[in-house]
Amino acid sequence: MTCRAIRSLKGRVLLVLGAAITLCWIAALGVLLAYTLRGQSDRWDSKLQAIGTKILTSIPSNAKLKPSFDQGLQLRDENMPRDVSLTFQVWTNRKNLLVRASDSPHKPLLPSFQDGFTSSTVNGERWRVFSVSDSTGEVSVQVAVRHSVIDQEIRHKIFAMMGLTTLLLTVAGLLMWFAVTRSLRPLTTLQAAVRSRRKFDLTPLPVAQLPTEIRPLVESFNHLLDQLDQAMQGERRFIGDAAHELRTPLSALQA
């Protein structure tokens, strides 16, 4: 923005509004980023906890648990799940893998078997893990989701929110620019009226449609025009009287 635009009233107002919108955009993005990160983490943690506890409580307490690595039942093609980001493991005595999902690693998702949420790295891949054990500590269920899936969802939501926030603030900025331009239109009209006047036209400028903030300035200018008009009228009277007084001696000299 040039120095000329900054000196103008419109330029200053637009500069302040632009700075305010920019600060609001930064603040909104910061709040949305924090809210999205926390919300996505809590949502996945709640999902992992619900699945893990349901798997554990569905195992009969008097069942004879033996490891089984036979091929699992197959689903029909139309029933194949699209979301394969979740996986689980069921362990006995923290060393025997009882059952696992087909895409789950053979190693424990959480080697410490500590109940609760944590992040773990297995075979070079990071997982968000929820581990839960029964009251005896004999059976442990570990449910996990790849961190890459959570990060991807967070990125998508952040980009979507950034786009929406930018769009809304852009619309707000355009509305503010329109409001400022429309509010300053009386000044442009006043400038055109002054420029279109003929020489020595000292009639007062109209003040009926002017904003309250500009009206005192125009009224002061009209008062100045009235004083100038009175001075010019007095000068015309003086010249007229002087011409009348000189007319008789000139006539006598001509005679």
Q: What is the mean pLDDT of residues 62-72?
A: 59
Stated as kind and residue range, the H or E segment containing 89 is strand 86-92
Interior angle at CA 33, CA 32 and CA 36, nearest 5: 80
Terminal Cα distance for the chain, rounded: 75
Give SS3 for 172: helix
Residues in the chain: 255
Report residue 5's pLDDT band, with 50, 70 and 90 as the boundaries. very low
Dig out the tokens for 217 from the structure.
């300035």
Which residues, including other chains, have CB under 8 Å from residue 90's CB and lie 6 or more apart?
55, 59, 97, 98, 99, 100, 139, 140, 141, 142
Question: What residues pair up with 130 in beta bridges, in sequence order?
Answer: 117, 143
The per-residue pLDDT for range 38-55, each reduced to its tens digit, is 777 788 888 888 989 998
> What phi-psi label fits residue 123: left (phi over 0), alpha (psi between -120 and 50 degrees) or beta?
left
Q: Which residue has the tokens 């581990």?
A: 131
Instruction: State yes or no: pLDDT of 71 exceeds 60.
Output: no
The per-residue pLDDT for range 187-220, each reduced to its tens digit, is 777 777 777 777 766 777 777 767 777 777 777 8
Give SS3 for 84: coil
Interior angle at CA 49, CA 44 and CA 54, nearest 5: 130
pTM of structure: 0.57
